[in-house]
Amino acid sequence: MATRAQLTEDLAEWMPFTELADDELAAIAQTISSEPQPLDDDHTSGKRKRIASEDPMALWRRMSGAYLDELLRGESLGRHHGRPSCAACGEILTENAESRAFRCVDCGPFLQCEECLRNRHEQLPLHSVQKVWTGFWRQCTLFSPSVSQTSIGLGMVYQLGHHGFPCPHPDPRLRRMVVLDAGGVFKVDIRFCACSHSLRHKHMHLSQLLDNAWTLKVVGNMNAHDFVGSLERLSNATFTEQLPDRYKAFGRMSRQYDFLMRAKRAGRGHAMDGLATTPAGGLAVRCWACPDPERNLPDGWENADPSKSYIYSLMLALDANFRLKNRLRANERQDPALGNGLGYFVETNEYKEHLRHYVAEEDVSTCIAFAALMQKETRLTTGLRVSGVGGCVCARHGIVRPLGLGDLQKGERYANMDWVFLNAVGGLGVRRLVISYDIACQWKQRIRERATKLSKNSVIVTKLDDYALQFALPVWHAVAHESSCQAANSLTHAVGVGRTDGEGIERTWAILNPIGFSTKEMGEGNRHDTIEDKIDHVNFEKNVKQGNTLARKMLIALAERETQINEFAEVDDSLESSLREQWQRQVNAWNADNTSPNPYVSTAKHAGPSEAQILAELKKAELEQLRSGRGNELAAGRTTAAAFIKGALQLEDQQRRIRFESSGQTTLTAERSSQLDELRVSVLKKLHTLQMHQMVFMPGVEELRAAEEERRDVDAAPAPAEVAKLWLPSDLSMEQREAVCRPTLVETEAQLRLGQCSDTLAKIRGHLHAKTHLIDTRNANAVGQNSSTRFGTLIGRVGDQARRQATKYREARAALRASQARAALGKLGSSKRARNEPSLTKKVVPVSWIWFAGGEANKEELHDSVRVQWTKSLARRDRWIEEVHLLREEMRRVIKSIEVLRGEWKEREDARTEVDEELAAGLMAYAKRQSFVYGEVEKAFRGIWSASTVAAIRRSCR
């Protein structure tokens, strides 16, 4: 086996994936999505030319009658109807018992005589045989039929014990064995080998059947009950015969076989006493692209230049999934997992012992987050042993970490998530961890203190003092947090994370959720084994698809990097050097300490109190009410009226964002279209949570929703996520508000809408300031088509942002008007004609009222607006540069990981010496096969990444 140093030297000069050559290829790259699934056509993208292949059924419909005739033709002798004969020996066949015609479905549609059929099936006992009987094909069995069977049997006996060779000492007694195979459930007459000392079983399995069952389980989410039921229907669809019930036996066999196959793939069979000595997490499939000092990092990585050391960071994503629940059962029995603590679930006994000493942590919330934080202690758990699972995956690739899952008993508690997180890190020897978590703003507080207490447990090998920690909010979930919280925990502006969005764990949950329907009713151990089988498949499939996935991401990153570099250069060249240095110092200070003033946030004057200020006042008032005993509007102890309305406004903003980006007013790349689809799913989930809270603050609104649903056309599709009605107080008539809204709820919404309008006006002014600056710079400095085009793109982007904020302002103002908040409206915008429209008698257009709301704009406000655009442009440029570097390093690590795997399998060829000759041969053959398979994967990856850019784009567009 090559040493790690030799492998590093071999890869040192290799540069995967050539650069894009020109603007045309960059434009093509923008049509590619980093997601491997093909994108559906967007219904808003306009008409396009249709071709015949898009309706493949059109031609078939016209010929469907001919196909039906062919199916019916096969019900008789077909072309042999006039003179049927055996295809093997040529014997003429009739309906007489001496010369009956047989046909085997598995062999083919040709005819066979009885002698040829017997000879052919001496070693094929599980084929489905039919025969001619009174003018139609009638079921026939190779063996003797049972008393209840209406089929005819040939009385064959299958000899066991010598792999098809004759047995010198056959047992004279005949036995009947039930065999499950891909073709159904069979009753086979067998004769045991008397020279064998093996056990006499009454049922058996074939590995092909169990392989099929495993594939259908991990790909199609089929459970054992449905699989066995399918086999029974293949055997007798009319249920005229009582088949032996082998559901429980098959369930046990398949579970044992799947576990053994996981151990086999992990190489445990090649270690002496391999199963007993398997380390924690030793059966898990690890991510090939994530940094692992023992497998894929170059020598001396610890001494890398600080400006480049981020490429060796491990990025993780944490989250809880409440779909993978498990019910308590009256007939509960002990059912430990076959590989407890060896795969993806943490070791059960230590985990439960840890939770027994858990004391509910005090809610230290300083931010109004969404459902996970609101309900982390209060998830409905009646009748459940497990309310969900907490998980940890690598944030960039979505692969579940070894020991990265743990059952949740009462919602998403810190005790559960801390244990899962520390086990998932597993003491890995990297220096920096980036953790994305949708409640990171709260969870990170005192995490080191909690981890120190847990490290006293011998199971926990992770010492957080050995790591630099960076916490962040996932991109889509961040909008549910307060502005100050978003600014301090933004992944978009975090240094060294590239374009990581932190939402990879949601994609993993989407794959795992369908299996929850079957695991909900399972025993504890069976459930763990089933989920781990599914994850094992998902992890492996993601690994072997890294070739195409990383290639697509690299194409996008290379194109975007060049675009962002050029756009930032245009903005940067327009600044005075002193101003540039001042703003760069602000960015550097914030990168070093995010409690410093945030350079990405505008400090411009507002037209009135900001939304954050109003929210703080409302929270303070609600707290006073609680202390005085007058506060009765808490949603079962989870959230307040202000938090409820705030959450609804954040959800409304996400809907607005989707509507704007999918409206056709902006250029939508394939990558962005895929991201919007994910955002729609996120909106629908949060909408469900919002509706649950509405039953507390707006009792009776569910009847209004139901009434509107009744009026909806049943043939019409449900409303898309971006236009789904939220049923806020401003959406209701005055009579409806009085009937369903809690006291003060309407006023709470009105006050927050007022702050929303104030914030939006400030943003509009900032965007218009920045747009004016860019236009002036373009007019003064732009020379040539390329420069003018880049400026046009920048100006258009800022203009789009201004239009989106203007839409938000109009909608918020309309909600205020609907809430009858007339007093607030007067503060936000004059309705006088002379202040808003051009004069009919003067040639000079009056200045719009937006420039006077909150005070007249000045030079500082102009600089502030340009600063925000400059810092955001700088962040976009830097993140895309980082993304290219990260992807290059991930490609190198993937190749290196495969090289190490090949070397490990090479070493395993003769790792066990004290075994018999047959086992030694099997061990060597399997190790050679695994080494060959990984070699082919490596060859394929190198081919993809070394291809020309045109070939890479063509492959990615398939």
One domain for residues 208 and 353: no
The most confident of the ranges 61-70, 642-651, 691-700 is 61-70
Q: To which H or E segment does residue 315 belong? A: strand 314-321
DSSP element (H, E) containing 60: helix 57-73
Q: Considering only the C-alpha atoms of the chain, give the largest distance between any 2 of them, rounded to a whole number of Å.
A: 117
Say if strands 136-141 and 384-386 run parallel, antiparallel, or are unpaired: unpaired
Q: Decide if 884 is inside a domain.
A: no
If 0-12 CB within 10 Å is exposed, 13-18 middle and 19+ buried, where does residue 876 land? buried
Using the 8-state DSSP alphabet, how is residue 179 labeled? E
Q: pLDDT band for 263, please (50, 70, 90 cuts).
A: very high
Q: Is the dihedral of CA 66, 71, 75, 81 positive or negative?
A: positive
Is the pLDDT reported for residue 579 higher than 80?
yes
Higher pLDDT residue, 199 or 799? Answer: 799
| Distances in whole angstroms, Cα of residue 926 to Cα of each of 267, 916, 922, 929, 933 | 10, 16, 6, 5, 10
The answer on 748 and 820 residing in a single domain is yes
Residue 585 domain flag: no
Same domain, 118 and 249: yes
Domain boundary among 245, 264, 283: 264
Nearest to 719, CA basis, from 728, 708, 729:
708
Per-residue pLDDT band at 406 (split at 50, 70, 90): very high
The mean-pLDDT minimum among 150-164, 476-490, 842-856 falls in 842-856
**Residue 139 and residue 230 in one domain:** yes
Asked whether 927 and 905 are in contact (CB, 8 A), the reply is yes
Mean pLDDT, residues 27-34 taken together: 62
Cβ pair 393, 409 in contact under 8 A: no
Other CB atoms within a 10 A radius of the CB of residue 837 amount to 11
Domain residues for 452? 315-332+341-503
If asked whether residues 248 and 345 sit together in one domain, one would say no
The model scores a pTM over 0.75:
yes
Burial of 266 (0-12, 13-18, 19+ CB in 10 A): buried
The length of the chain in residues reads: 958
Half-sphere exposure (Cβ direction) of 489: Cα atoms closer than 13 Å: 31
Does the pLDDT value for residue 826 go beyond 70?
no
Q: Is 277 within the bounds of a domain? A: no
Whether residue 875 lies inside any domain: the answer is no
**Residue 873 in contact with residue 571, Cβ under 8 Å?**
yes
108: left (phi over 0), alpha (psi -120 to 50) or beta: left
Amino acid at 436: S
Strand partners, 236: none
Q: Angle at Cα 432 formed by Cα 464 and Cα 360, nearest 5°?
A: 35
Which residue's entry shows tokens 């599709």?
A: 717
- Chain segment 703-755, per-residue pLDDT in tens: 888 888 888 777 777 788 888 888 888 888 888 888 888 778 888 888 888 88
* pLDDT for position 525: 92
pLDDT of residue 841: 41
φ, ψ for residue 46 (rounded to 5)? Answer: 90, 170
* pLDDT for residue 699: 86
In terms of average pLDDT, the best of 529-533, 818-822, 917-921 is 529-533
Cβ atoms 338, 406 nearer than 8 A = no
- Give a yes or no: residue 456 inside a domain: yes
In a domain, 581, yes or no: no
| Rounded Cα gap, residues 144 and 191, in angstroms | 13
Q: How many domains does the chain have?
A: 3
327 and 446 co-located in one domain: yes
The residue with tokens 């309906």 is 95
Q: What is the CA radius of gyration of the chain?
A: 34
Question: What's the pLDDT at 799?
Answer: 80
pLDDT band per the 50, 70, 90 thresholds, residue 949: low
CB 836 within 8 A of CB 830: yes
- Asked if residue 498 and residue 396 are part of one domain, the reply reads yes
Report strand pairing: 468-472 vs 432-437: parallel
Nearest by Cα to 887 from 162, 397, 205, 343 = 397
Q: What tokens appear for 306 in the block?
A: 């600080």
Please check whether residues 350 and 209 belong to one and the same domain.
Answer: no
Of the listed ranges 44-48, 252-256, 802-806, the one predicted with least confidence: 44-48
Specify which of 362-366, 457-461, 529-533, 648-652 reaches the highest per-range mean pLDDT: 529-533
The per-residue b/e assignment along 275-284, b for 16 or more CB within 10 angstroms, e otherwise, is beebebbbbb
DSSP class per residue in 399-425: PEEEEEEEEESSSS-HHHHHHHHHHHH
Average pLDDT, the chain: 80
* Domain finish residue from 793, 828, 854: 854
| Sign of the torsion angle spanned by Cα atoms 196, 197, 203, 209 | negative
Residues 346, 260, single domain; the answer is: no
Residue 135: pLDDT band (50, 70, 90) is confident
The pairing of beta strand 203-205 with beta strand 175-181:
parallel
234 neighbors 183 (Cβ within 8 angstroms): yes
Domain's final residue, options 836, 854, 872: 854
Q: Can you give the pLDDT at residue 780?
A: 65
Quick one: 320 and 256 in the same domain? Answer: no
279 within domain boundaries: no
For residues 246 and 345, state if they share a domain.
no
Please report whether residue 810 resides in a domain: yes
**Is residue 235 domain-shared with residue 366, that is, in the same domain?**
no
Half-sphere exposure of 83 (CA within 13 A, CB side): 3
Token pair listed for 112: 């066979």
Asked if 227 contacts 213 with a C-beta cutoff of 8 angstroms, the reply is yes
Does residue 661 sit in helix, strand or coil? helix
Q: Report pLDDT for 810.
A: 86
Burial class (CB in 10 A: 0-12, 13-18, 19+), 828: buried
- Nearest 5°: phi and psi at 848? -65, 150
**Cα angle 228-232-236, degrees, rounded to a multiple of 5:** 175
